[in-house]
Amino acid sequence: MFKNYRLEKLFKAARNGETSKVLELIKKGLDINTVKYGNTVLLEAILSSNPETVQVLLENGAKMDFLNSQGLTALKAAFEYDRFDVVKPILEYGESPDTIIKDVFGTTALIQAVIINRTDIVKLLLQNGAKVNNTNKYNESALYYAVKQGYNEIAAILKKAGGIALPKVYRNQIFIGIDKILNELDLTEIDLSELDDPIDNQILVDSFTYVIAIETVYESDQNNKTLPIGSSKLGGLPHLPEDFIWPEDHYFFVQLNINDFKKYDLNNEFPEYGMIYLFTDNDGYGKAFYSKAPIESLKAREYSFELNDYMQEELSEKEFRFHPNFYFETYSMDEIVDYLPKSCIQKICKLLNTTSYERFTILHEHMLGENVTWQGEDPLKKSGYTLVFQYDTGEGSVYIGVHPVELKRGEFSNAIVYYCGT
């Protein structure tokens, strides 16, 4: 009884970062590797982000390789819950800097540190012997992600450590041309004093973000016509292959015909053809699917349950149209565009084969680029996923994210679908 009481005090002290109390209880002979609530004392300290307590526990023999109820080791837990202030002692006491953080993709700690743009953790992992050219299950290296995401400082660090970009990053010549336009811009001729953020040519290049914008055509513009089979659209009845299994208790929300926007897929990130479907439930969760069935084989499918009046209104059929657009990620909304010469914007639009730049607000509904409405850390960016779809609905937005390799292959089994709203 007294032992259980003392163990409870130990776990509580670790959670609260009461290092001296933790040390006092350890000296009384308590086993610090005892498991309670599915965790060890060390994992409790890590999850509570208490580096001094973590240090003391490791000094006194806490095991780092214990798998908790979520399958997390010490280093995995630090990455999973963004407790990066405890990474240093974990590495110093021997957990491998090459630990696989994301099992489903074989993502190493170094690759994950690059994906979330943590220069300090990249340096720390390399200092502790992380193998710079270890790859994930898709043969992608840390440097590949640094180059792909435009994290130039991290890329330079990895190259200095002997990093190789595996596989070679493909970049459309159009974007190389846009880099040239922005690099050649004479910023000394522009009054940028009212901008809150610092700016130079490299920052402009790094923050340029290309998207495929989605335009919704409402009923008044459609003349109440029923859209052809295989149209990109919101709501109505889905156009499905015969063998498609409708997910139980889900509404049809969106279908995207890749042929409708493939010409704007400048870095060839989507499959060559096919349909992407999104179904959602009442709780804001959803499921995404890909089908490469021929368009002529698709058929409109009726609901097996009745929609209430609200859902019928929300999911009335609306056509999607697509066009290229862009914004500058670093800056609040698109304020930087107000300062850049019109000739610069016109040159970029010409390269993108679009008639004009549209204000940032339209980018709440887009494909590729970044999640522009998420409050806090973007879960897609943290996972290294491509933003396949973002769309405003109700009081928030719905998102689809897929790993870039799986997106190109049309594999949606690991897709992330989520809703963010008030």
Residue 57 lies in a domain: yes
276 and 345 share one domain: yes
Phi, psi angle pair for 4, to nearest 5° = -65, -40
Q: How confident is the model at residue 3 (pLDDT cuts 50, 70, 90)?
A: low
Residues 199 and 153 in one domain: no
- Report whether pLDDT(290) > 50: yes
Total domain count for the chain?
Answer: 2
Cα separation values, 68 from 38, 42, 73, 107, 275, Å? 6, 11, 7, 19, 40
Q: Do 379 and 280 share a domain, yes or no?
A: yes
Can you tell me the mean pLDDT for 209-217? 93
Tokens at 225, concatenated = 């016509």
Predicted local confidence at residue 333, as pLDDT: 46
Q: What is the mean pLDDT of residues 195-210?
A: 85
User: Taking residues 49-69, what's their average pLDDT?
Assistant: 92
Last residue of a domain, one of 110, 126, 160: 160
Confidence of residue 38 (pLDDT cuts 50, 70, 90): confident
For residue 365, pLDDT over 70 is answered with: yes
d(CA 419, CA 374): 10
The residue with greater pLDDT, 90 or 3, is 90
Which of 133, 160, 187 lies at the terminal end of a domain, its last residue?
A: 160
Distances (CA, A) of 2 to 7, 14, 30: 9, 18, 11
Reply yes or no on whether the pLDDT at 28 is more than 60: yes
What Å distances lie between residue 387 and 71, 148, 212, 267, 378, CA to CA? 27, 14, 11, 14, 10
What is the CATH classification number for the domain harbouring 151? 1.25.40.20
Q: Which two tokens stand for residue 324?
A: 């290229």
Query: Residue type at 314?
Result: E
Q: Looking at the domain assignment, is residue 166 inside a domain? A: no
**In whole angstroms, what is the distance from residue 165 CA to residue 227 CA?**
44
Q: What is the DSSP string of 258-316?
A: GGGTGGG-TT--S-SS-EEEEEE-TTS-EEEEEE---GGG-EE---SSPPPHHHHHHT-
At residue 2 the predicted structure's pLDDT band, cuts being 50, 70 and 90, is very low
Q: Judge if 150 and 274 occupy the same domain.
A: no
Look at 412 and 328; give whichever has higher pLDDT: 412
Distances (CA, A) of 417 to 249, 269, 282, 287, 406: 16, 18, 14, 6, 15
Q: 74 with 209, same domain?
A: no
Residues 331 and 236 in one domain: yes
What is the arithmetic mean of pLDDT over 402-420? 94
Percent of the chain with pLDDT over 70: 94
**Pick from 329, 328, 209, 211: nearest CA to 261:** 211
* 205 plus 334 within the same structural domain: yes
Over residues 221-280, the pLDDT tens digits come to 555 678 999 999 999 999 999 999 999 999 999 999 999 999 999 999 999 999 999 999
Instruction: Tell me, yes or no, whether 118 and 266 share the same domain.
Output: no
CATH at 299: 2.30.320
Determine the pLDDT at residue 344: 93
Of the three residues 160, 185, 217, the one that is the final residue of a domain is 160
* pLDDT of 334: 60
Domain span at 206 = 171-422
Contact 406, 289 (CB under 8 A): no
